[in-house]
Amino acid sequence: MQYGPYEIIRNAISLFVTKIFHPNARLIRYPCYLRNSKNILINKGFTCGYNCRIESIQTDNKYGTIRFGENVKIGDSVHIASADSVEIGNNVLIASHVFISDLDHGTYNGNNQTSPETNPDDRKIFSKPIQIGNNVWVGENVVILKGVNIGDGCIIGANSVVTKDVEKNCIVAGVPATIIKRFNYQTCKWENINKFNNTEFHHFKK
């Protein structure tokens, strides 16, 4: 990829700042907001685009943690928020404008649901860990919500909203995201789910 003079200058400044404050990272393009950075683990080879917001949030005297594996690359304007735990594996590629959050303001299922008359900013925070496996590709404008586990080798289609666990080596898309293809190791092809015996995929090991 070739950069223009302005981009070369911006990258050079960002690289200088990155090596001072986050020596493990490859390149953090600034501006980038890291809130409570002591709870954010950035590993070798980490690269991120401009205007990213990665934040550890305090609830009940506890801070959320965010851990990136090796060689994670994220695009511009990615927002990752944790009040519990967000873990991202190795060699994960995240496109721009992605939102990953392990928390909700209020609860809207079961007993003791939150009243709509309560100021949203004053509603109790409910959180549940998120785990994203290795070699996962997350497309543009994806939303990943609390409690989700995404298996190794998955592809999350652009504009998808992921609300439940995703088996390894699957392609999901839609709102809410559903499985549209799985990788078949016998044929070495991504195949539509109706080509598989569904009984083989009842269990997903986290």
Active site residues: 105
**CA–CA–CA angle 23, 26, 27 (5° rounding):** 100
H or E segment to which residue 129 belongs = none
Q: What is the DSSP letter of 166?
A: B
Distance, CA of 10 to CA of 172 (rounded, Å): 36
Q: How far apart are CA 34 and CA 52, in angstroms?
A: 8
Give, in degrees to the nearest 5, the angle at Cα 125 between 124 and 130.
160
Which sign does the torsion angle of CA 118, 123, 124, 125 carry? Answer: positive
Please tell me what DSSP assigns to residue 1: -
